[in-house]
Structures are given as structure tokens and as C-alpha cells.
């Protein structure tokens, strides 16, 4: 496979991952304000479903970013090996 094609696929994964992170945010289980609250309300199952959806897609976006960077590293290493072997 061509080094430039592997690199381009990695960049596409990175762009998709960044766009998804922009939409869904980073997964976090800690309150940003540092408050520990006492909830005396009923359970909102719609919010639970929404949290699960956002948590899944944000983690998936991080996987895409990592995979994209790995493909770029592989591309650079294979191109480097190809140029060294031709010398």
C-alpha cells in the first residue's frame, strides 16, 4: 500500500474524530464545578439515554484519533524504510 494513501486515511480518521469530539465532547465522569450534589428528584431516563449516547460516541471519536495517528506513524515508518532500502 502506498505511504501517501495510508497517511491520508489516517488524516481522514483524525478529522472525523475531531469533528465528533467537537459535537459530543470528551468523556468525563467528574463534575466540572467540583460539587458533590444530593439529587432529590426523580430519575430522568431520557437524560440517562442521552448521556450513554454521548459517552459512547466521544470514546469512539478518541479511538478514531488514536487509530489515525497510528496510521500516520506507520506511513512515516514504511516510507522511511522504503527510502533507506533504495539507498
Could you tell me which residue, 3 or 20, shows the higher pLDDT? 20
pLDDT value of residue 48: 83
32: pLDDT strictly greater than 90: no
Share of the chain above pLDDT 70, in %: 83
Residue 49 DSSP label: H
Could you tell me which residue, 71 or 34, shows the higher pLDDT? 71
pLDDT value of residue 65: 96
Residues in Cβ contact with 25 at an 8 Å cutoff, skipping those fewer than 6 apart:
54, 58
pLDDT value of residue 19: 95
36: pLDDT strictly greater than 70: no
84: pLDDT strictly greater than 80: no
The full set of domain ranges for the chain reads: 1-27+53-87
Mean pLDDT taken over the chain: 84
Amino acid at each position: 500500500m502506498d505511504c501517501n494513501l495510508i497517511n491520508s486515511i489516517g488524516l481522514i480518521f483524525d478529522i472525523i474524530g475531531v469533528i465528533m469530539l467537537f459535537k459530543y465532547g470528551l468523556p468525563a465522569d467528574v463534575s466540572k464545578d467540583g460539587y458533590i450534589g444530593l439529587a432529590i428528584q426523580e430519575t430522568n431516563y431520557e437524560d440517562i439515554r442521552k448521556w450513554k449516547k454521548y459517552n459512547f460516541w466521544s470514546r469512539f471519536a478518541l479511538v478514531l484519533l488514536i487509530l489515525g495517528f497510528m496510521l500516520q506513524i506507520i506511513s512515516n515508518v514504511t516510507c522511511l524504510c522504503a527510502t533507506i532500502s533504495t539507498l
